[in-house]
Amino acid sequence: MIRIVLVLLAVWLVVSVLGFILEGLFWLAVVGVVLFVATAAFGAGRRTGVRGRRDHRAL
């Protein structure tokens, strides 16, 4: 799961950079940044949730 999140983060980073480099595609940069933040938040939430469940099972 973490591998998929890392690949998506890399893709969104490339899309954002391309959007900033190509002046006519500024909207692409905005979409890339929004998707990057959303994927990072999802990945962080998944990691926290999994840890919480593991700790709960140990008790």
pLDDT in tens, 3-54: 888 898 899 899 898 888 887 888 888 898 999 899 999 888 876 655 555 5
53 domain residue, yes or no: no
**Would residue 25 count as lying in a domain?**
no
Domain membership flag for residue 14: yes
**Cut 0.75: pTM above it:** no
Q: Is residue 16 part of a domain?
A: yes
Q: What is the pLDDT of residue 37?
A: 92
* 2 domain-assigned: yes
Tell whether 39 is covered by a domain.
yes
Name the residue range of residue 2's domain: 1-20+31-43
* Share of the chain residues as helix, strand and coil, in percent rounded to the nearest 5: 95, 0, 5
Q: Domain tally for the chain?
A: 1
Token pair in block for residue 21: 């480099």
Is residue 29 a contact partner of residue 16, using CB atoms and an 8 Å limit?
Answer: yes
Q: Is the pLDDT of residue 1 over 70?
A: yes
Note whether residue 26 is domain-resident. Answer: no
Predicted confidence at residue 49, as pLDDT, reads: 58
d(CA 42, CA 47): 9
Residues 15 and 28: beta-carbon distance below 8 Å: yes
